[in-house]
Amino acid sequence: MIRRSLLLMLLLASTAAHSQVIDYDPRRPTELRECDDHAYRGRAAPAKECYTRILTNSSAIATRAEAAWALGDIQRANALFREAAQDTANSTQPRVRWGRLFLQAHRPADAVALFKEVLQGSPKDVHARLGLARVYAEQFEGEARRLVDELIAENSALTEAHLLAARMALEEGRYEDVDASLDRALRGVEKQKLPPLDVYAMRAVLELSRKGEARSDWLDKALVFNPHYGAVYQDLAHFEVMRRRYKEATVLLRRAVEVQPDLWEAQAELGANLLRTGDIIGARQHLTLAYSGDAFSATTVNTLRLLDRVDEFDLRSVPLTIPSLQGTGTVDVELRMRLARSEAEALRPYVQQLASDSIASLSKRYGFEPREPVTLELYPDHDDFAVRVAALPGIGLLGVTFGYLVAMDSPSGRPVGEFHWGSTLWHEMAHVFTLELTQHRVPRWLSEGISVFEEWQTGPTPGVNVTPDALVAMRDDKLLPVSELDSGFIRPQYPRQVQVSYMQAGLLCLFIEQRWGFDKLVTLLRQFTRDTSTKAAIEATFKMPAADFDKAFDAFLRKRYATLLAGSEEWQKRHEEAGNAFKNRQWNEAILAARRAIEIYPEHIGDDSAYLVLARALDKSGQRYEAIDVLRNYRRVGGWAPAALRDLANWLDATGNKDEATEVFVALNYVDPLNVDQHRLLGERLLTANRAEPALREYRVLMALSPQDPAPAGLGIARSLRQLGDKAGSRRYLLDALASAPHYKPAQELLLQTIEERKTNE
């Protein structure tokens, strides 16, 4: 079961890191220098003429390949590099450059293969390793930092290594390290007589990160050096996207394509960014432009294909009324739901209900009312969702929030029981508040932490449940200091560190709430209404050094999980024993072992939770009331496995707890909302309990889900409306149901009953 959303926004930003323009390899043919100089200065016409001349006249194939590349003829450059690579004696540098070409052509796997090929023959080739480091850095792999550190240790004058180090430090918020790296990089370019454009761009980003303003002397310097250097704006935008400041990124990307209209990556990124903010028309325009200049980008092609199918989605806008923060009256918030037409009617009621509840709850808790419409998009095809958020299918996210726009998997996008779509929606809605309240300045860890915390505290499956891998990290002292926690999300250093970081972030919020009260969490969040660092915000809020805060958090964890940390081995043993005993139908043994496992680790609610074993073993051994209590406890700590909830509801029913059973069936709608039988059953139960309004909702959904057999749903709607006093509406639905199925006896009986009543009243 997957419960939480993986908001790997860094993947969204990864495409924005612009490809290398400047070749820092000293082996670059000197023949190209004159042309490069024109290109670096933005003198397009002479550069073109110069490269064309070389392409025509040069006797060196690799040099002609470079010229073709600089002229934008990727196919020809590829063919020439392939030819150059045949010359085994001198193919190292051309192969590295060929790899770089693949990187620009959005084929990182081919680039990696070429770099590795080079390294087989020349294991120490610096530029092949730099190429690899760049690929890893763009893919946010922890390996990148190790490789760059290694290269710098071997040769401290490697300009590109310092630039990469600076970029990674910037992404992780280590600004002092950025300063040092850029100083070294500048010395390198001056020595090599290369353009300082990348250094200027990175300096501009550093200023943006520190001061919050995109305008800077460094930006001006870059544009003085090259007035058509759009990449400086693209770099600035990249870091704004990293911080989820999409509107700000859009302004910068517009500037990038203004000064350099053929900067296709910026055109594509502008399109993607407009899509993040809901501007489909603008997105299509810029993505089409990007495609016209760069047909190799799978992300651009995939997104355009998805946009071509926009008609398959239904966009519905509804006004929500939530209590005003002023204490009296209400305010309206517009909710827009973009749902696949095939399931829109069935899902909309639950999406709307959950969105409404979350907005009301979160606005009150965080003292912030949405100022723009909130858009929710649910994708039944996971690959469509993946394309929507990162433009590449096959990415394992569940939901992504771009500010006021949330995109996520629809419940039909994954097998039933794999994720709790209601919790995912709640998690994402919390991001809407943390992002918008801080104008997207909130650090990743706090935004994720609050989302996880809100799932635990106010979501549809409340209960603090920490996964085993987080506890292992806790035991092994692998949790990060709060001021470095963002790096656990951005560039994980060990498997599942991202998931561990989610848990740690949630626990940090829980710690703050329990130690200082919930208001302090809000105070901490509000620190980020201006540009500040985690360290400074922690110190300002809690009046203690960040290191002391970390110590207090550690003590909190050690106390809270003392039993588990001391008994983790026993838990593992009991947990396995319980499962094995159950398989062997040894109910008593299963019960004993499962009880002990729950005592040690009461928050474990995964697929193989001891609660589930215990409940079933108790039921099998004739102790149904005890089994019910176990599943009640399981729900209390956040358990939601659909099969377990169905067992609980049926057992409650069988033992006369009808109302509680109904509530459990209602909860199932937020796990498995497209189950026809579930709605039929729930509609009947609610009607029997004289709860016509929710019954009506169930029958309307049933109608949407079973268009091939509308009579039972039509009758249900008729009965609900009748109970609500809408006789005319009830009559129409009843007659429509009978028109589709004239012999439907329950409907015939209701018809005769209404006729009798009418006669009596006349």
What are the DSSP calls for 235-265, one per residue? HHHHHHHHTT-HHHHHHHHHHHHHH-TT-HH
316 binds other proteins (CB under 8 A): no
Residues in Cβ contact with 554 at an 8 Å cutoff, skipping those fewer than 6 apart: 479
Instruction: Count other Cβ atoms within 10 Å, centred on residue 317.
Output: 11
Q: Which is nearer to other proteins, 230 or 380 (CB)?
A: 380
Which candidate, 379, 380, 363, 374, places its Cα nearest to that of 401?
374
Distance CA 585, CA 299 (A): 52
Q: Which is nearer to other proteins, 67 or 750 (CB)?
A: 750
319 binds other proteins (CB under 8 A): no
Q: Which is nearer to other proteins, 43 or 731 (CB)?
A: 731
Give the nearest distance from C-beta 722 to other proteins in angstroms: 15
- Which residue among 6, 432, 508, 751 contacts other proteins (CB under 8 A)? 751
Length of the chain (residues): 762
Window contacting other proteins (CB under 8 A); options: 89-97, 368-376, 546-554, 744-752: 744-752
Q: Give Cα 104 to chain centroid, integer Å.
A: 25
What are the DSSP calls for 132-167, one per residue? HHHHHHHTT-THHHHHHHHHHHH-TT-HHHHHHHHH
Site for other proteins in 415-444 (CB under 8 A): 415-416
Residues 226 and 201 sit within 8 Å (Cβ to Cβ): no
Give the nearest distance from C-beta 742 to other proteins in angstroms: 5
708 binds other proteins (CB under 8 A): yes
Report the DSSP pairing between strands 374-379 and 330-340.
Answer: parallel
295 binds other proteins (CB under 8 A): no
Q: Which is nearer to other proteins, 320 or 738 (CB)?
A: 738
- Provide the 3-class DSSP secondary structure of residue 554: helix
Give the nearest distance from C-beta 643 to other proteins in angstroms: 12
742 binds other proteins (CB under 8 A): yes
709 binds other proteins (CB under 8 A): yes
Q: Which is nearer to other proteins, 554 or 709 (CB)?
A: 709
Give the nearest distance from C-beta 757 to other proteins in angstroms: 13
Which candidate, 714, 743, 746, places its Cα nearest to that of 731?
714
Give the nearest distance from C-beta 749 to other proteins in angstroms: 8
Give the nearest distance from C-beta 673 to other proteins in angstroms: 15
Q: Which is nearer to other proteins, 39 or 737 (CB)?
A: 737
Q: Which is nearer to other proteins, 460 or 710 (CB)?
A: 710
- Residue 77 burial (CB < 10 Å; 0-12/13-18/19+)? buried
Pattern 719-738, binding to other proteins, x per CB under 8 A? ------------xx--x--x
What are the DSSP calls for 58-120, one per residue? -S-HHHHHHHHHHTT-HHHHHHHHHHHHH-GGG-HHHHHHHHHHHHHTT-HHHHHHHHHHHHH
Rg from Cα positions in the chain: 30
Dihedral (CA of 642, 636, 468, 627) sign: negative
Residues in Cβ contact with 327 at an 8 Å cutoff, skipping those fewer than 6 apart: none
711 binds other proteins (CB under 8 A): yes
757 binds other proteins (CB under 8 A): no
Q: Which is nearer to other proteins, 143 or 672 (CB)?
A: 672
Residues 604 and 637 sit within 8 Å (Cβ to Cβ): no
Q: Which is nearer to other proteins, 540 or 755 (CB)?
A: 755
- Which residue among 743, 760, 761, 762 contacts other proteins (CB under 8 A)? 743
Q: Which is nearer to other proteins, 646 or 732 (CB)?
A: 732
Site for other proteins in 485-514 (CB under 8 A): none
Q: Which is nearer to other proteins, 586 or 748 (CB)?
A: 748
- Provide the 3-class DSSP secondary structure of residue 313: strand
Residues 687 and 723 sit within 8 Å (Cβ to Cβ): yes
Give the nearest distance from C-beta 678 to other proteins in angstroms: 13
Backbone angles phi, psi at 479, to 5 degrees: -70, 150
Window contacting other proteins (CB under 8 A); options: 627-635, 679-687, 690-698, 750-758: 750-758
Strand partners, 314: 339
745 binds other proteins (CB under 8 A): yes
Residues in Cβ contact with 4 at an 8 Å cutoff, skipping those fewer than 6 apart: 398, 423, 424, 427, 451, 452, 455, 502
Distance CA 393, CA 387 (A): 5
- Which residue among 49, 659, 663, 749 contacts other proteins (CB under 8 A)? 749
Burial call 27-37: b when 16+ CB within 10 Å, e when fewer:
ebbebbeebbe
Window contacting other proteins (CB under 8 A); options: 66-74, 109-117, 589-597, 743-751: 743-751
Give the nearest distance from C-beta 225 to other proteins in angstroms: 57
Q: Which is nearer to other proteins, 95 or 680 (CB)?
A: 680
Q: Which is nearer to other proteins, 251 or 416 (CB)?
A: 416
Q: Which is nearer to other proteins, 267 or 678 (CB)?
A: 678
Give the nearest distance from C-beta 418 to other proteins in angstroms: 9
Give the nearest distance from C-beta 412 to other proteins in angstroms: 9
Backbone angles phi, psi at 581, to 5 degrees: -65, -40
Residue 382 amino acid letter: H
396 binds other proteins (CB under 8 A): no
Residues 604 and 610 sit within 8 Å (Cβ to Cβ): yes
How many residues sit close enough to other proteins to count as binding (CB under 8 A)?
Answer: 21
Give the nearest distance from C-beta 708 to other proteins in angstroms: 6
Give the nearest distance from C-beta 739 to other proteins in angstroms: 6
Give the nearest distance from C-beta 644 to other proteins in angstroms: 17
- Which residue among 113, 566, 654, 752 contacts other proteins (CB under 8 A)? 752
Pattern 565-584, binding to other proteins, x per CB under 8 A? --------------------
- Which residue among 213, 658, 740, 757 contacts other proteins (CB under 8 A)? 740
Burial call 565-591: b when 16+ CB within 10 Å, e when fewer:
eebbebbeebbebbbebbeeebbebbb
Give the nearest distance from C-beta 112 to other proteins in angstroms: 32
Reading the block at residue 316, the tokens are 């519905």
- Which residue among 71, 755, 760, 762 contacts other proteins (CB under 8 A)? 755
CA atoms within 13 A on the CB side of 592: 5
Contacts 24+ apart (CB under 8 A), 78-85: 78/105
Q: Which is nearer to other proteins, 724 or 735 (CB)?
A: 735
Distance CA 14, CA 138 (A): 6
Burial call 199-218: b when 16+ CB within 10 Å, e when fewer:
bbbbbbbbbbbeeeebebeb
Q: Which is nearer to other proteins, 422 or 710 (CB)?
A: 710
Alpha-helical (H) ranges within 517-656 are 518-527, 534-542, 546-560, 562-583, 587-600, 610-620, 624-636, 642-654
Window contacting other proteins (CB under 8 A); options: 248-256, 320-328, 612-620, 708-716: 708-716
Give the nearest distance from C-beta 745 to other proteins in angstroms: 7
Q: Which is nearer to other proteins, 688 or 740 (CB)?
A: 740
Window contacting other proteins (CB under 8 A); options: 61-69, 94-102, 206-214, 706-714: 706-714
Q: Which is nearer to other proteins, 256 or 671 (CB)?
A: 671
Interface ranges with other proteins (CB under 8 A): 415-416, 708-709, 711, 731-732, 735, 738-745, 748-749, 751-752, 755
